Structure 1
């Protein structure tokens, strides 16, 4: 992959700052209400994809501990290495989210938190359309997206000395993309962060 490829910037950034990222965000606390709600909506021993799983905490760990079958995918080799250590009961793959594939109607849920926003904009709608096909009828997609449109980098991300890259549309665009992908948007909320924030979507395959 070319070193100027934005995905390579993302991969190298998370390789460098895996532990720093985990320590900088109270993800256990922040994600818990979302994961609790998801578990109320999916069947026991559900098949779940954690797309952009990071080090496996907290999504893969919480869902695996509850008896669900979890596959995590992340572009960062260091994140995947740590995830395999931290959550040995789940399966993890190092891959670009846009390169993975699953059988149709195979998954009960797909969770993608703070991951879509690291993909080039033109790759996001096709990925959402594929995610919709992977879900069983009635399956859930839980995702954070951009709330306002922005593409750019931070050359000293989290003060850790590594560069990070993002690209996201606004919430209305994501709502449209989800609908066009064949999903029904069941819920949407604003998740504040610093001076801005993200949109959280609950969508379902009819």
Structure 2
């Protein structure tokens, strides 16, 4: 354990507050239209990667319940253990999102909600490039990013006495990074949260010649 490693701070934070985070955020209705739109854009029985899946709720549960084949990845051992209990029909893997490997063109969609913002800034563009490579041509990336640039911690995250760490660029930078990764940004919106918010991106891996 390295208390100065931001990824370790994130892992320990979610290990400690898995249930509190679930109670605070996973019932939010904003997920429903996002996942509904995604299902309209991917084929029946699609393969989907949920990167930063948490407990598997709501993304893995909703998509696997609709007949899609979902693989979830999360850095937190506790989150993954609970995901396997809560969404047994999906496959889950404990791993650092920046270190996990999949074959090229493995997925029809990659979903990453509120996860990129926990990864060191310099590691985010290479991860977006890997995500693009994991998508099949025509596949979709649905992800939330920072809206304004910020790096910092909360030493009493969710009132649970545990530290959490974030780092994100601004939305324009993410738009550039997605494009440089080889994805075509189709849609961007601001998702408010408290007195700030996040950016939501829909990006697609083009077919050859597009």
TM range (shorter): over 0.9
The answer for the alignment partner of 1:90 in structure 2 is 90
The answer for the alignment partner of 1:34 in structure 2 is 34
1:176-195 matches, within 5 Å, as: 176-195=176-195
Q: Is the 8 A contact 2:178 2:185 kept in 1?
A: yes
Secondary structure at the aligned position of 2:156 is classed as strand
Q: Structure 1 segments of 4 or more deviating over 4 A?
A: none
Q: Is the 8 A contact 2:26 2:57 kept in 1?
A: no
Structure 2 stretches lacking a partner, 5+ long: none
1:65-84 matches, within 5 Å, as: 65-84=65-84
Aligned residues: 206
The answer for the alignment partner of 1:136 in structure 2 is 136
CA separation in 2, counterparts of 1:175 and 1:193? 20
Secondary structure at the aligned position of 2:33 is classed as helix
The answer for the alignment partner of 2:2 in structure 1 is 2
How far the C-alpha of 1:2 sits from its partner, in A, is: 2.0
Secondary structure at the aligned position of 1:98 is classed as coil
Tell me the TM-score normalized by structure 2.
Answer: 0.97
How far the C-alpha of 1:25 sits from its partner, in A, is: 1.6
Structure 1 stretches lacking a partner, 5+ long: none
How far the C-alpha of 1:77 sits from its partner, in A, is: 0.3
CA separation in 1, counterparts of 2:104 and 2:92? 20
Secondary structure at the aligned position of 2:159 is classed as coil
Tell me the TM-score normalized by structure 1.
Answer: 0.99
Q: Is the 8 A contact 1:28 1:57 kept in 2?
A: no
CA separation in 2, counterparts of 1:59 and 1:194? 22
Q: Is the 8 A contact 2:49 2:70 kept in 1?
A: yes
CA separation in 2, counterparts of 1:50 and 1:193? 22
CA separation in 2, counterparts of 1:118 and 1:72? 16
